Amino acid sequence: MKLHSTATGIGMATRLLAIGGLALAGAPGAAAQEPEPAWQIGIGAGAMVQPDYEGSDDYEISPLPMINISYRDRIFLDGPMLGANLLNLEGPRPGDKLQAGPLLRWQMGREQDDNDALRGLGDVDGSFEVGGFVSYGLGPFSAGLTAMQDAGDGHEGLTVELEGGYEHSFDESWSMRAEISTTWADDSYTKAYFGIDAAQAARSGYRQYSPGAGFKDIGVSVGVDYALSDNWAITGQVGYTRLLGDAADSPIVDDEGSANAFSAGIFVGYRF
């Protein structure tokens, strides 16, 4: 899996959105021997089940659109993420590739009306993040790193995700992938999403809580893609994420929510 196709640190909904785009960008039913067109475009829609905030034990079903556009494997748009493969080195075998480049990503915020457990904590505004990625593929295996810094007035923090993956095609129609990832976050990020200052404590009734920097989660996921035709594809995924450290000890997680999060979703898309 190309790391730039994975939206990290912006919620499970966006992660599945990007994975659905990846499935369309390389649907296994497409003619593999034909030259790839300069433009790769995929659109679609789907839905997923996920916690209604990071650390919640309440789940919701969210309908989601999907869009995936790339130009000559250099410039790409995967859902809310825009980037470029400035380094794009092919290895001696199919699937061997080293890629790196910049990213611009929209980080979805959080509203206190999302759940009663968030009342009195105020909203975390959505904003743009800037950063970059490096990924290395070796046949069916891949590994990579993504670093993103908030460039607006959202969480104002930095996140770094490490990821490893494996992909396998069973035939021209069916393929699967498995991933494991972990995310490090600085104290600005953890305070925005898991901290409670004096004013928030007075409004919400929670105790004050000031989390620090550290690894905030570890997650695994398994996805399956099925090519209905050269143009139509369906993709689905199930995942599990465990909050760690100060994030897991936050009152909105430990007292009112859960450090364990499950997700499942399905997309249907069309590749032009």
pLDDT at 242: 98
Residue boundaries of the structural domains of the chain: 3-271
- Of 143, 181, 179, the closest CA to residue 9 belongs to 181
- Report the pLDDT value the prediction gives residue 177, as an integer from 0 to 100: 97
pLDDT at 76 over 50: yes
Digit-coded pLDDT (tens) for 81-95: 999 999 999 988 877
Between 23 and 10, name the one with better pLDDT: 23
Sorted by sequence, the CB contacts under 8 Å of residue 241 that are 6+ apart come out as 12, 217, 218, 219, 260, 261, 263
The mean per-residue pLDDT over the stretch 135-162 comes to: 96
pLDDT of residue 244: 98
Residue 268: what residue type?
V
pLDDT band at 18, cuts 50/70/90?
very low
* Stated pTM of the model: 0.86
pLDDT for 250-265, tens place per residue?
999 999 999 999 999 9
Residue 33 confidence (pLDDT): 52
Tens of pLDDT, residue by residue over 93-145, are: 877 999 999 999 999 999 999 999 999 999 999 999 999 999 999 999 999 99
> 3-271 has which fold?
Porin (2.40.160)
Which tokens hold the place of 174?
A: 């069916």
What's the 3-state SS for 140-205?
CEEEEEEEEEECCCCCCCEEEEEEEEEEEECCCCEEEEEEEEEEEECHHHHHHHHCECHHHHHHHC
At 34 the pLDDT is 62
Given this model, what pLDDT does residue 91 score?
Answer: 84
Confidence tier at 8 by pLDDT (50, 70, 90): very low
Summarised one tens digit per residue, pLDDT across range 34-43 is 677 899 999 9
